[in-house]
Amino acid sequence: MKNMDNKTITHHKVPQGATLSENGCFFSIHAPQVNKLKLAIFDHNGTPEFHDLGARNGPLFQIFLPNIKSGTQYSYFYSSSDKEVWLIDPYAKKISAHPVCKKSYASVVTNNEFDWQGVVQPTVGRDQTLVYEVHVKGLTQQHPDIPEPFV
Instruction: Provide the sign of the torsion angle of the four alpha carbons 104, 109, 77, 61, taken in this order.
Output: negative
CATH of the domain spanning 17-108, picked from 2.60.40.10, 2.60.120.590, 3.40.50.2300, 1.10.1240.10? 2.60.40.10
Is the pLDDT at 63 greater than 80? The verdict is yes
Q: What is the pLDDT of residue 69?
A: 95
What pLDDT, on the 0 to 100 scale, is given for residue 13? 64
Q: Are 38 and 77 in contact (CB under 8 A)?
A: yes
Domain ranges of the chain: 17-108
Binning pLDDT at 50, 70 and 90, where does residue 41 land? Answer: very high
Q: What is the CA radius of gyration of the chain?
A: 20
| pTM across the whole model | 0.70
Q: Which helix (DSSP H) or strand (DSSP E) does residue 140 occupy?
A: helix 136-140
What pLDDT, on the 0 to 100 scale, is given for residue 3? Answer: 42
Greater model confidence, 58 or 39: 39
Task: Give the mean model confidence (pLDDT) for residues 31-39.
Answer: 89
**Statement: residue 8 has pLDDT above 60:** no
Whether 16 contacts 9, CB under 8 Å: no
Alpha-carbon distance 145 to 93, whole Å? Answer: 35
What is the per-residue pLDDT for 6?
A: 41
Question: How far is 138 from 108, CA to CA, in rounded Å?
Answer: 37
